[in-house]
Structure 1
Amino acid sequence: MGASVPGRYWHGLADGRVQCDLCPRECKLHEGQRGLCFVRARENDAIVLTTYGRSSGFCLDPIEKKPLNHFFPGSAVLSFGTAGCNLTCKFCQNWDISKARANDRLQQQASPEAIAQAALDSGAKSVAFTYNDPVIFLEYAVDVAAACQDVGVKTVAVTAGYIGEGARPEFFGAMDAANIDLKGFTEDFYRKLCTASLESVLDTLLFVKHETDTWLEITTLLIPGENDSSREIGALSEWVTEKLGQDVPLHFTAFHPDWRMRDISATPAATLKRARDIAASAGLRYVYTGNIRDEAGQSTYCYACGACLIGRDGYTITSWGLDASGHCTSCGEICPGAFEPDPDSWGPRRTPLVFAAV
């Protein structure tokens, strides 16, 4: 546990370097070098994952915090991450983890089987790979997902979707649900603030929606003056409607000053509510606001009759208008997602878990 393991998705180059193909960065490494993500390195002429079996911490969270509003609402999810990231977002809200060097934060160790059993024992419906991007620890995430599947626990990826074409099938094939960050809707935004590419993320969204059975929701963090114009929000919403479909839930969440953008003000609640109205006008049926207090913007409504299907006050379920098969109890229209006859009642609790030393 906690040792380097062989990595997948790489090839040797004619000049003697090794290229990592896991994400679109395609880091080209000499012996002993690490990729931008820091956790993938070249050792003995191959790529290895240096953080297998090690975590920055484990916690039981509400599933709505991921955010996932149509995937077993009200349930607990066992959340964990490692360290590092393959993006360089100046506005990162988890920078202490995503920007950490591997040994700075990885204080806990757990095997895939131990994580799956802990989720089962705690009553969590699912395990979420989150806090930092799970793409960079693909081998560990896929093994944990397999162990979870063996005991009937679902798996969730919270990711920026910056993953290579060759790795997408294995990674998302292991996930029951995913929330993918669509951070903005211009190449300039991705290049300037993330040193990444919008096109690669759009390709991932299209792949997950049309070539997998993974339940998909999308999050856009609105940053004042950067990606919050009505024009950009409208273009993003229209793309989601036309390319992914009206039923894909879209979450607009509030930025707060952090990492290298501490001089930018927090997102006003009015901006998120405006974005929600724009997305609804573009045809999206399930649009949510996050990181603010907004019961109307966080509840789920039947697109056909307008009845409240799932009332929410923050992370607490306040009402339930779905029947046992996920249909509106008022008009009978289906609500897309994964639901049980009655919601769980985990609520807003956040409960850290500590694994025994191994």
Structure 2
Amino acid sequence: MTETLARDAFTVATRYWDTLADGRVQCDLCPRLCKMKPGQRGACFVRANLDGEVVLTTYGRSSGYCIDPIEKKPLNHFLPGTPVLSFGTAGCNLACKFCQNWDISKSRELDTLMDRADPETIARAAVTTGCRAVAFTYNDPVIFHEYAQDVARACREQGIRTVAVTANYISEAARAEFYAGMDAANVDLKAFSERFYHRLTGAHLQPVLDNLEWLVHETGVWVELTTLLIPGENDGDDEIRQMCEWVIERLGPQVPMHFTAFHPDFRMTEYPPTPVETLRRARRIARNAGVHHAYTGNAWDPDGQSTWCPACNRKLIGRSGYEITAWNLDGEGRCDVCATPLAGVFELAPGQWGARRVPVRLAEFAPHP
């Protein structure tokens, strides 16, 4: 779609693009390689061709800010029990028919972006509210790359960590810069078949797998995986087993896997919700395959949400929903019975944030003139 675009305070230049021989520009940020005429937006909606260059049109604007438990991202091995300041923008570079945040990620209305803040204000808000990290979530931070990078730098200066909740659909050229600012990532591995990715997300599986191998082995980012299990689409035993075997072989058994419940939404309202037994079955398959830490989510299942020692099966971190109910790690992050180290990022004691979800208005933390 072509429209009249104009530069404003929320428009910034970007780096990953080329000019094509026919005068269009190609965005090289993700594998879509969107080709745009003047005035056209890419598939993500927030990157566009303005005056012959690709710009980000939503720098500093957000769909809202909220303090969440870190386990909601979900991250179970990264500062458990602590609060994280979460926000997203609008748009997405995937086209998932089952999107659970479709009102944000599928939005084509800038009015969705009701709050605004510069990177320093976000870092200040995190410090002031006692958050240990800032999470780029609700929609994929890959598409607001420049904003996410500046926020990450501002947070690092204040001792605040940053978390990417992402489908990991990013180009090889851009991924090093993007993840350089991240301390942890929850990667949405949506399925383990090209058919699913192509038909239900409008994307491809292989770039996600390639980026995962690079992310786990070539960076210091703590990584956990999430798969939303959709009845009849990606919840078969063979596919789950193949996925787990790939994770063990290519990433390592220490990478946590979260199997979460689908709820009918967006363009897949005719599908039933995922039964909790499907989640438990997926968890059993993962554990039997050799995955050290497999979890269930979006359903009531305290055993499936707790962390167990991979050596002696001691309950190391008990969870009920987003509440921490047990903590059996020693001062060095090891099982207090057999001394097996627990993979992840831990402190001497868990945070006490619990299940609270607190909306935040960033204007309260902006510097006064």
Q: Is the shorter-chain TM-score for this pair beyond 0.5, marking a shared fold?
A: yes
Aligned to 1:34: 41
Aligned to 1:304: 311
1:104: how far off?
2.7
- Taking the aligned partners of 2:270 and 2:108, their CA distance within structure 1 comes to 25
Aligned to 1:85: 92
- Please say if 1:240 is aligned against 2:240: no
From 350, 356, 360, the equivalent of 1:349 is 356
CA 1:149–1:102: 2 relative to 1, 3 Å: farther
- Taking the aligned partners of 1:204 and 1:50, their CA distance within structure 2 comes to 26
1:38-94 deviation per Cα after TM superposition (whole angstroms, max 9, x unaligned): 000011111000000000000000000000000000000000000000000000000
- 5+ long unaligned stretches in structure 1: none
- 5+ long unaligned stretches in structure 2: 1-7
CA 1:2–1:128: 2 relative to 1, 3 Å: farther
From 22, 27, 32, the equivalent of 1:15 is 22
From 261, 285, 290, the equivalent of 2:268 is 261
- Taking the aligned partners of 1:80 and 1:37, their CA distance within structure 2 comes to 17
- Counterpart mapping for 1:112-151 below 5 A: 112-151=119-158
1:7: how far off?
1.2
Aligned to 1:172: 179
1:228-256 deviation per Cα after TM superposition (whole angstroms, max 9, x unaligned): 00000000010001100000000000000
CA 1:349–1:28: 2 relative to 1, 3 Å: same
Partner of 2:363, secondary structure, is: coil
- Taking the aligned partners of 2:10 and 2:138, their CA distance within structure 1 comes to 21
1:299-325 deviation per Cα after TM superposition (whole angstroms, max 9, x unaligned): 001111111110000000001001121
- Counterpart mapping for 1:194-273 below 5 A: 194-273=201-280
- Taking the aligned partners of 1:274 and 1:305, their CA distance within structure 2 comes to 21
Aligned to 2:346: 339
- Structure 1 vs Structure 2: percent identity of aligned residues? 61
1:311-348 deviation per Cα after TM superposition (whole angstroms, max 9, x unaligned): 00000000100112111111111001000100001000
Partner of 1:231, secondary structure, is: helix
- Taking the aligned partners of 2:263 and 2:195, their CA distance within structure 1 comes to 21
Aligned to 2:197: 190
Partner of 2:210, secondary structure, is: helix
- Taking the aligned partners of 1:103 and 1:324, their CA distance within structure 2 comes to 47
RMSD: 0.9
Aligned to 1:280: 287
1:290: how far off?
0.1
- Taking the aligned partners of 2:165 and 2:145, their CA distance within structure 1 comes to 13
CA contact (8 A) 1:125 1:154 kept: yes
The alignment of Structure 1 onto Structure 2 pairs a total of residues equal to 358
CA contact (8 A) 1:2 1:54 kept: no
- Please say if 1:161 is aligned against 2:171: no
What one-letter code is carried by the residue in structure 2 that aligns with 1:145? A
1:102: how far off?
4.3
Partner of 1:3, secondary structure, is: coil
4+ residue runs of structure 1 moved beyond 3 angstroms?
Answer: none
CA contact (8 A) 1:39 1:102 kept: no
- Taking the aligned partners of 2:83 and 2:326, their CA distance within structure 1 comes to 18
The normalised TM-score by structure 1 is 0.99
What one-letter code is carried by the residue in structure 2 that aligns with 1:239? W
From 38, 54, 71, the equivalent of 1:47 is 54
CA contact (8 A) 1:191 1:197 kept: yes
- Taking the aligned partners of 1:102 and 1:141, their CA distance within structure 2 comes to 20
- Taking the aligned partners of 1:2 and 1:121, their CA distance within structure 2 comes to 26
- Taking the aligned partners of 2:363 and 2:181, their CA distance within structure 1 comes to 26
Aligned to 1:62: 69
Partner of 2:40, secondary structure, is: coil
- Taking the aligned partners of 1:272 and 1:51, their CA distance within structure 2 comes to 37
